Chains A and B, each alone.
Chain A
Amino acid sequence: MSSTRSRSVALASAAVVSLAALSACGTSSDGAGSAPGGKVTLSVNGQPPTTQAFERRLFDRHVEQFEKAHPDIDIVPHEGFMDPKTFNAKLAGGQLEDVFYVYFTDTRGLIGRNQAADITDHLKGMPHRGDVQDALMKVFQDAKGRQYGLPTANYSMGLLYNRTLFKKAGLDPDKPPRTWAEVRAAAKRIAVLGDSTVGYADYSKNNQGGWHFTAELYSRGGRIATERDGKWKAAFNSAAGKATLRDLHAMRWQDGSMGSKQLLQAEDVQRMMGSGKLGMYVSAADNITVIAKQFGGAYRDYGLAPVPDARSTLIGGEGYMFNPKASPEKIRAGIKWLQWKYLNPDLVEQNIRDNIDSKLPVGLPMPPTPDIWKGAVRERVEQAKRKYANVPVANYQPFMDAAPRVPGVVEPPEAQQVYAVLDTVMQAVLTRKDADIDTLLTAAEKKVDQIYSAL
C-alpha cells in the first residue's frame, strides 16, 4: 500500500494536533484596531471568491459604497465562509475575522464555548432590527436572550419536485403532493417511467441523513428532542418518527420508488435532479440554483411546495457573529456593516437589478431576496421579487404562500452528533429490507440521550 497516500491522509489527522501549534503564531484580533486617521479597521469574511465574478464584483462595490458612507470604518474583506476545518485553527492563531460567517447550526455551540462576542448592548438603535423575523434573531441568542450575532439569510425546507417528470407520469405539476401518502403515490408513478428514474430520493450519509430525518419528522409534527428543566431528552422514538421511517422503508422496498443506490448526499441527489432522473426530494429553495448552475437543470423544470403534512418545518440559515476578542468599536462598526449590507430593505431593489443585469436568478426565496423579514418589509420585498422575477415564480408560489403558516423549528442541540446517530437509522432503513424500525429507534434514542446527558 502506498505510504504516500496514507501519509497525506495522516496529514489530516496531524492537522488536528497541529492546530495547537498555531496558537503560538499569528496576531490576535483584540487591540484598538484603529487605522491611521482614527478609522476603525474591521476584518470581515464572506467575500465571494474571484471565480464567482459577479458576486465578487458586487461585494467589493458594496465595500466601497459602505466606506464612502462611513468614512470612519475601514473594511478589510476576506474570502471564505464558515469552514469547520479551519475555524478553530484561525481562532487559535488569532486569524479569525472580527465579523465571521456562520450557519445556524453552529451558533449554539459557539455561544456555549464563548467563541463569539455578546453584542446586545451595541444593538440599540440598529435600523430595521424589529423587522427581522423573531425566530431568526433567537437563533443568535443564549438562554438569557443576549444577542451574539445577526441572521442574514435563511432557508426552510419544502418539497422540491420535477414538473417535467410529473407531467410524464400523468401527475398535475400545479398540484404537488400535500401529504406523505400523496408523496408515496406520486413517487410510485414516477418510478415506473423506467430508464433509472427515481420517484423520491433521500440523503443518508455524512450527517445529512440525520438532517433529513429531522426535516421529515418536523413535517409530521414530531421533534428530535425536548427540553425539560434545562435538560434535553430524545423525542424522536415516537409515532411521527416511526411513521417517517415506515414510509421511507415502504417506498424503498415495497414500492421500489427510491432507486437501488443509497448512501446519497446532497450533490448526488442534485445531480439526479439536474439530469432529469428524480421526481422529488425534501429540500430548501437554494438547491434550485445549485441544480441549475452546477448540474445542468433548468429553472422552469422545477417546482417547490411546502413540506408534506406541513405541521412544522425545519429552518436553518446563515448569519454573522463577532470575534470574542473584538473591541466595542469593532463590534459597533460590524453591526453597521451587517445592517447596511445584509439587513437593508433599501438595498434589496438595487441588488435585484444587479442580479438581473448579470442574468442571475431573481424570484426565489433566497438572496438577493431572502425571506428573513416580517410584516410590511416582507411584503415590500415580496412585491419587488414578483416585479423583477426572471425565474418562474409561479412554480414556487405554493411554498411561498404556505411559508408564513408553517411553523419553523430550528435544529436540535448538538445537531451534528445527533445527526451522526440518525444517519445510521436512515442507512439501515434504506439498505436493509429486514430493518427493524422499533429496535433502530430505541437504540438511537439511547445514544442520543447519552449525548444529552453529557451536556
Chain B
Amino acid sequence: MATAPLLEKPVSPPVTAERERRAARLRRSVREHLTAYGFLCAAVVLFALFSWWPIIRNVLLSFQHVNFATGSTWAGTANFEKLFDDPLLATAWRNTALFTAYALVLGFFVPFLTAVLLNEFRHARAYFRVLVYLPVMLPPVVVALLWKWFYDPGPGLFNEVLRTLHLPASDWLDSSSTSLLSLVIVSTWANMGTATLIYLAALQTIPGELYEAAELDGANLWQRLRHVTIPQTRFVLLVLLLLQIVATMQVFTEPYVMTGGGPEDSTVTVMFLIYRYAFVYNDFGTASALSLLLLLVLAAFSALYLRVTRGAKED
C-alpha cells in the first residue's frame, strides 16, 4: 500500500477522509477474504518449502563448494568454470537438443496424425483409444527393459524381423550413430498416448458444419486437414509443442536405464550429466550449476508458453 508523502503544510480534510475511507475498505476486504487467505497460506507455505526454497538453494549451491559435513564455502564461479571445462557439457547439450528435435518430429506429428485417424473412425473408437493410451500406463523402467529386448542386436525382436525379411540388421542401442534415435522411438511410443488423447479432444470440438461445408466445396482429406483441422486446433498444437520441448529437454530415464549414456557418450543428456555430477561424482555444486543452466533454458520456453496461452485467452 502506498504511503502518503510527508507534507510540510497540514493535510487537507478531504484527503484525510479519502485515506480513512480507503483504509476502511482495505480492512473490510481483508476481513472478507481472511478465510481465503487462510486456505492460500497452506499452499504458499508448501510451495515455498518444496518448490521455491529448493530453487533458491540451488542457485546458492551453484556458487558454493558443497560439503554437507563441514559446511559449504563460497566458490564464486568455480563450479561454472569446471562445467565449461568439461568436454561432456557440449556433448550433453548437443544430445539433448538432438533428442528434442527428433522427439518433436516423431512425437509431435505421430500423435497428431494418430488422433486424426482415430477421429475418422466410426467404429471401435474407444477400443483404439485405450490401445493408444496403454503404453503410458506402463512404468518407465518396464518400458525400457522391454525395448532393450526389442533392440537386442542378436536375438532381439526387431533384428529377428529384419532378418526374416532379408533386410540388414541394425545395432540399435549398440551403435553411437543409431542409439539416440532408438531412444527417441522408445520415448515416443511410451508417451504419445497422452498427446493423442489431447489432440483427439481438440479435434472433437471442431464443429461438424465446417467439414460439411468443406466437403460441399469439394475438399479432399488433405484439404480438410489443411483448411479446417489445423487452423481449428492451432492453439492446442502450439501449447503441446512447447510443453513437449520442456518435457523432452529433461530426458533422463531412457538413457539412464537403457544405455547408461553410451555408447561413447552418444546418449549423455543434460539431466543424465546432472545426475552423474551429483550422485556419482558427489559434486553437488557443479550439479547445481548445470541444473541452473537447464532451468534458465527451460524458463525461456516456459515464458513463451505462458505468453502463448495468455495471447490465446485474449483472442
Contact = CB atoms under 8 A, between A and B. Distances in A.
Interface of A: 1-6, 8-10, 12-14, 16-21, 23, 84-85, 88, 91-92, 109, 113-115, 196, 204-207, 209, 259-263, 265, 324-325, 416-417, 420, 423-424, 427-428, 431-432, 447, 450, 454
A2 B174 contact: no
Contact of A196 (B58, B155, B194): B155
Contact of B264 (A14, A84, A428): A428
A287 to B, nearest CB: 19
Nearest to A9: B252
B95 interface: no
A82 to B, nearest CB: 12
B176 A13 contact: no
A204 B261 CA distance: 11
B175 interface: yes
Contacts of B57: 17-18, 20-21
Contact of B280 (A16, A207, A431): A207
A165 to B, nearest CB: 17
Nearest to B282: A109
Given A10-B250, A431-B171, A431-B175, A1 B107 contact: yes
Given A1-B191, A1-B194, A17-B55, 8 more contacts: A16-B278, A21-B57, A113-B69, A261-B152, A261-B156, A265-B260, A424-B264, A431-B174
B157 to A, nearest CB: 13
B250 A13 contact: yes
Given A20-B57, A20-B60, A447-B87, A205 B260 contact: yes
Interface in B220-250: 243-244, 246-248, 250
Contacts of A16: 58, 274-275, 278, 284, 287-288, 291
Contacts of B194: 1-4
A424 B88 CA distance: 11
Given A13-B291, A21-B57, A84-B280, A2 B136 contact: yes
A13 B55 CA distance: 11
B293 to A, nearest CB: 12
Interface string B50-91: 100111011011000001111000000000001001010000
B115 interface: no
A13 B262 CA distance: 20
Contacts of B140: 5, 8-9
Interface of B: 49-50, 53-55, 57-58, 60-61, 67-70, 82, 85, 87, 103, 107, 136, 140, 152-156, 171, 173-176, 187-188, 190-195, 243-244, 246-248, 250-253, 259-265, 271, 274-276, 278-282, 284, 287-288, 291, 294
Nearest to A106: B282
Contacts, number: 172
Q: Which of B140, B246, B264, B294 has the most CB of A within 10 A?
A: B264
Given A1-B194, A16-B284, A196-B155, A262 B174 contact: yes
A251 to B, nearest CB: 15
A88 B69 CA distance: 8
B177 to A, nearest CB: 10
Given A263-B259, A263-B263, A19 B68 contact: yes
27 contacts: A1-B107, A1-B188, A1-B247, A2-B194, A2-B247, A5-B247, A9-B140, A13-B250, A17-B288, A19-B68, A20-B61, A88-B68, A88-B282, A91-B69, A113-B67, A113-B69, A115-B67, A115-B70, A206-B260, A263-B262, A325-B69, A416-B280, A420-B276, A424-B262, A427-B262, A432-B175, A447-B87
B54 A6 contact: no
Contacts of B287: 16
B259 A431 contact: no
B153 A427 contact: no
